[in-house]
Amino acid sequence: MEDSYSYRKYIYDLMEKGKIEIIGKSVDKDKDVPRMLYLKQDTPMLFTEIKNFENTKIVGNLCPTLKNLSDALDTSESRLMNKIIKIFSNFKKPTIISNKGEWVEKRVDLSRLPIPKYYKKDGGCYLTSSIVACQFPNSDEENLSVHRIMVLGKDYGAIRILPRNLFKILNEKGGKSEVAVIIGVHPAIFLAASLSLDYGVSEYNLANSLLNGKLKLIRTESGIKVPLGSEIILLGEIDLNQRKKEGPFTDITGTYDIIREEPVIKFNKMLIPRREDIIFHAFLPASNEHKLFMGFPQKIKVINALRSKGINFKKVNLTNGGCAYFHCIISIKKIKEEDGKDTINCVFEHVHSIKLVIVVDEDIDPYKVEEVEWALATRFQAEKGLIVLKDSRGSSLDPSTFKTGKTSKMGIDATLPLNAKKSNFKRAQINE
């Protein structure tokens, strides 16, 4: 019987409830799978027959919407964000158990896994659902983070690493470290790995709290712990000093990222399920699932920043059109005249990737673009409510920065002045 927090149990539950589309015909991992996932981005899909791969399935769009994520975390969409933010102040460490023979060891051969090439001009086949577990220096705690890995051979690839916790760990260890790459986990674990915590704090603690204390970890022979119920484990080493070309790669913007020299990750062991089949997790780049898991940490940062500033906000929408990463619409209840502009400046100060902030009154739903545009048309005057910042820290993912990471930012305060006669700005009601 599968543990309640396992990858397989999550997939089986979707099947039992009829919430995953099962594709029974033979499909090509490169030509068919990405295209079908792209066309139905809000639909979990299970491909049961992969050309040239025996006893192998692919699952994609596994957790593509807020509803999927809420269901996975056993809560409602309206309570999801508060549940996650509350957990940040009350982490629970998971239980460590002895190896139950969950996996069998196989000779490392990445070509045995149905790793897709997702887009036409991608540099190669990419691991995109890969969580890297790496122990902090002089610690038994693991940092978890999600990284793309371009496959370069049967036992190695190039891994994209930004200057965050994993990069800091590697530097403190002299540029090299053993790691475990985990493919196929419950969405709660994937979400935790997407939410970068303070240095030295393990995302396993967050994952365990999201799973109500049910997460169990198994220690591998390298000492690195991995979740019971994971599908595939690759054990190896990252070397910052050995570099290979990585890219192009289609990132969250739907445009191709540039080719870079990135660290090599070399694998020495591959652990696969002690079952007849493998279910490989294909995480489609630039999809709604990608935007959900990259945008969620940004949204948490925005909410925490607004709360710290004492802004009385109602809703926060990191828009899908803004890649859930660059554009933010916020509704507030104004208490002070400067609240609109303070909201804009607060977001720009604390969340560097966001380049457009629109602030509206509480009667406007930031998730309804037509309402927001109506508020801009009827309540906004550029000479009073427009803020423009130049040469600000942005995101290297934004192609308009030409990969400099420097950007211009715009804030639009479309809230009414406190002394305005509100009745003049309400929508007219039809006779009934």
Considering all CA atoms of the chain, what is the largest pairwise distance in Å, rounded to the nearest integer?
Answer: 74
Q: Is 43 helix (H, G, I), strand (E, B) or coil?
A: coil
- Concatenate the DSSP letters of all residues of 171-227 into one string: HHTTTEEEEEEEES--HHHHHHHHS--STT--HHHHHHHHTTT--EEEE-TTS-EEE
> In terms of Cα–Cα distance, which of 179, 183, 284 is closest to 231?
183
> In terms of Cα–Cα distance, which of 407, 414, 409 is closest to 381?
414
CB of 398 closer than 8 Å to CB of 355: yes
Cα distance between residue 262 and residue 49, in whole Å: 34
Between the alpha carbon of residue 308 and those of residues 78, 311, 361, the distances in Å are 21, 8, 20
Tokens coding 158: 């190039």
Cα distance between residue 340 and residue 251, in whole Å: 32
CB of 84 closer than 8 Å to CB of 64: no
Phi and psi angles of residue 149, each rounded to the nearest 5 degrees, phi first: -130, 120
Cα distance between residue 290 and residue 64, in whole Å: 8
**Active-site entry in 32, 71, 251, 342:** 251
Q: Is 157 helix (H, G, I), strand (E, B) or coil?
A: strand
Find the radius of gyration of the CA atoms of the chain. Answer: 23
Cα distance between residue 267 and residue 265, in whole Å: 7
Angle 339-350/288-309 helices, nearest 10 degrees? 120
CB of 143 closer than 8 Å to CB of 133: yes
> In terms of Cα–Cα distance, which of 216, 222, 266, 258 is closest to 241?
266
Active site residue 251: yes
> In terms of Cα–Cα distance, which of 397, 156, 394, 410 is closest to 290?
397
The residues carrying an active-site annotation are: 251
